[in-house]
């Protein structure tokens, strides 16, 4: 079976489904915060700034008002795309010998779209360049709740970060995202007396799904190596993020405003690299439109390693 369908020059359906599965399983955000159905465009989400309080009322006594206060948060759409060029001969070889090249390109593009979700809303960067997104959109790293790695025991720093969020009195802590190196540090903490692992159920920490009652996920998007490239947002001052935790369930809303299409482009100059037909090339493009809103950065805390 050819990798590319002959009618319509589209990838077969099983690749499109596989792509969306990749987006769901690669990004950290979908594992910590449920997706919200969204229509395309800038929308608003209502949020409490002051919650109503109940009142104890004596018999025959008058009842008082407890007035909640609201504000809104804008959900701004972010279109993300991946365009990959390849020679026409690559497609021919892929069709004749079933090399799986185009399938691999689709998977790699899906992973890139997945990482973009975290990189945009955690770090506020353009994944391709590492540069800050124009307009300085709100990002989770804007939170004032920052814990510097202070001990050899990662769990103690996590406890400190949880305390910063709970001190606000408005949010709970539902999830934690960890860089793989920090997850390893957490999983390999040993008891001072016995030398045994404190959390043997974590293995090496790379496949965490929960920790101390929190939803957990591990990804390099937490430390964002994309942002440290030349000209990137962290090129001169790298915050060296090790973990991000907070109220992912209620304080972060996200959704896919448009499903992921896959397009094979044979004509024109879709990426500014020259005319495809003239250069005997084909382009594979994947796009998705995300929408997200951070309800309050105080609902999150960041653990950084200043060393």
pLDDT digits 0-9 by tens, 182-225: 999 999 999 888 889 999 999 999 999 999 999 999 999 999 88
Nearest residue to 28 via CA among 177, 147, 209 = 177
Instruction: Express each pLDDT in 55-88 by its tens digit.
Output: 678 777 777 776 665 556 667 788 899 888 888 7
User: Predicted confidence band at 245 (pLDDT cuts at 50, 70, 90)?
Assistant: very high
Q: What is the pLDDT of residue 5?
A: 29
Residues in the chain: 307
Taking the whole predicted model, whether its pTM rises above 0.85 is answered as no
pLDDT of residue 182: 95
Highest mean pLDDT among 87-91, 257-261, 262-266: 262-266
Q: pLDDT at position 23, please? A: 58
SS3 of residue 211 by DSSP: strand
- Average pLDDT of the chain is 80
Share of the chain above pLDDT 90, in %: 34
Tokens of 121: 């809303």
Q: Is 306 within 8 Å of 148 (Cβ atoms)?
A: yes
pLDDT at 51: 62
Q: By mean pLDDT, which of 14-28, 50-64, 99-113, 214-228 is the weakest? A: 14-28
pLDDT digits over 80-93, tens only? 998 888 887 767 66
Q: Which is nearest to 33 in space by CA: 304, 290, 227, 223?
A: 290
What per-residue confidence (pLDDT) applies to 10?
Answer: 39
Percent above pLDDT 70 for the chain: 77
Tens-place pLDDT, residues 153-174: 899 999 999 999 999 888 999 9
What is the distance between the alpha carbons of residues 307 and 305, in angstroms, rounded to a whole number? Answer: 6
């Amino acid at each position: 079976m050819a990798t590319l369908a002959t009618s319509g020059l589209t990838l077969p359906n099983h690749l499109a489904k596989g792509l969306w599965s990749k987006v769901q399983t690669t990004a950290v955000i979908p594992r910590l915060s449920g997706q919200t159905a969204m229509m395309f465009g800038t929308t608003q989400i209502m949020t409490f700034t002051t919650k109503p309080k109940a009142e104890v009322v004596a018999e025959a006594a008058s009842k008082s008002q407890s007035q909640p206060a609201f504000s809104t948060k804008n959900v701004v759409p972010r279109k993300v795309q991946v365009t990959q060029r390849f020679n026409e001969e690559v497609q021919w070889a892929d069709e004749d010998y079933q090399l799986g090249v185009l399938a691999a390109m689709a998977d790699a593009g899906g992973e890139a779209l997945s990482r973009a979700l975290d990189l945009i809303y955690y770090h506020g960067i353009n994944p391709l360049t590492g540069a800050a997104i124009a307009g300085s959109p709100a990002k989770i790293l804007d939170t004032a709740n920052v814990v510097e790695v202070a001990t050899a025991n990662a769990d103690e720093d996590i406890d400190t970060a949880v305390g910063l969020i709970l001190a606000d009195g408005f949010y709970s802590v539902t999830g934690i995202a960890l860089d793989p190196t920090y997850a390893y540090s957490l999983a390999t903490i040993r008891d001072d007396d016995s030398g045994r692992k404190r959390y043997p159920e974590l293995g090496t920490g790379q496949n965490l799904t929960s920790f101390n009652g929190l939803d957990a996920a591990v990804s390099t998007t937490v430390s964002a190596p994309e942002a440290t490239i030349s000209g990137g947002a962290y090129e001169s001052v790298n915050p060296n993020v090790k973990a991000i935790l907070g109220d992912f369930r209620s304080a972060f809303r996200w959704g896919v405003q448009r499903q992921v299409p896959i397009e094979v482009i044979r004509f024109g100059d879709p990426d500014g690299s020259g005319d495809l037909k003239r250069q005997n090339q084909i382009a594979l493009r994947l796009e998705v439109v995300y929408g997200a809103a951070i309800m309050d950065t105080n609902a999150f805390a960041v653990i950084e390693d200043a060393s």
